[in-house]
Amino acid sequence: MRNEYKYLTTLLIIGFVIGALIGILLWMFLEFNAGFSISISAGFGMLLGIAIGSVIDYKNKKESR
């Protein structure tokens, strides 16, 4: 079975990890609440990964027609 959403899956995972790392840095250096900064940053990273991955997959699917 071919994965139609290859970039969406990859960028979702990458966005989650990078967002969590940014949240850890915000927590360490700016002394925000740990749970809030890590979870919000990871959530925004995942949303950004979904948006970018969906656009790339849509363009690839549109070109293959």
Using one digit for the tens of pLDDT, what is the confidence trace for 33-59? 888 888 899 999 999 999 998 998 888
The pLDDT value recorded for residue 2 is: 66
Question: Distances from the Cα of 24 to the Cαs of 18, 31, 46, 65, in angstroms?
Answer: 10, 10, 15, 43
Q: How confident is the model at residue 17 (pLDDT cuts 50, 70, 90)?
A: very high
* CB count in 10 Å sphere of residue 59: 11
pTM of the predicted model, to two decimals? 0.79
Cα atoms found within 13 Å of the Cα of residue 39, Cβ hemisphere only: 4
